């Protein structure tokens, strides 16, 4: 069985949001066009508590700096997707009717979570892999935001969890921070047997 995983199509990652991804709204109609074609559609949602460890403001730093944490290197971002805020809501035009599972991530104050499958210590599970396997899912298709972070880490962890993995290349957009990160992420994914498809 195939599953679609919609990654972080939230207001703060769209135009006018705290961490807007260039071209983000372009993914919404494409996702809406394909989401009902899958036996299972899941969506992830960044859901950070105030003062989250990934926020530059929590460290008195400026966004874009990388610091060391026990869970590994951490890029610092503007405050975004704070629990219960309008910025954390899904994009209003995203059709959620086909979505039967929502995974909220980045909920721990002291640990970030880019991946839909594992938190940034690369060992703490979100429970998604076990859930998909229990339902008989063998292949996952990923779309959403952002190509070089949450889509990338989700795809890599999906492969590691044993799923055949594809990225819908016309339904993802990246931040490209630092410059060249989108190209590097795509190249790494392809080297790890992740397919790139257009739907």
Cite the active site residues: 8, 105, 150
- Number of Cβ within 10 Å of residue 86's Cβ equals 11
Distance CA 125, CA 143 (A): 20
Give per-residue burial for 48-64: e unless 16+ CB within 10 Å, then b.
beeebbbbbeeeeeebe
Give the CA distances from residue 110 to residues 32, 58, 79, 121, 123, in Å, rounded to whole numbers and listed in that order.
34, 11, 14, 11, 15
């Amino acid at each position: 069985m195939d599953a679609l995983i919609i990654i972080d199509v939230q207001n703060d990652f769209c135009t006018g949001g705290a961490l807007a991804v260039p071209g983000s709204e372009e993914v919404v109609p494409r996702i809406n066009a394909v989401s009902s074609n899958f036996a299972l559609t899941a969506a992830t949602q960044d859901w950070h508590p105030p003062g989250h460890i990934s926020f530059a403001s929590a460290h008195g730093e400026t966004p874009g700096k990388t610091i060391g944490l026990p869970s590994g290197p951490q890029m610092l971002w503007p405050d975004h997707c704070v629990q219960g805020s309008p910025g954390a809501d899904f994009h209003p035009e995203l059709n959620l009717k086909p979505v039967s599972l929502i995974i909220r991530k980045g909920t721990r104050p002291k640990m970030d979570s880019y991946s839909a499958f594992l938190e940034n210590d690369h060992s703490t599970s979100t429970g998604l892999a076990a859930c998909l396997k229990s339902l008989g899912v063998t292949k996952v298709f990923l779309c959403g935001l952002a190509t070089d972070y949450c889509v990338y880490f989700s795809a890599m962890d999906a492969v590691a969890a044993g799923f055949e993995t594809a990225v819908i290349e016309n339904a993802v957009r990246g931040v490209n921070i630092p410059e060249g990160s989108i190209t590097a992420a795509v190249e790494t994914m392809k080297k790890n047997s992740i397919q790139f498809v257009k739907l």
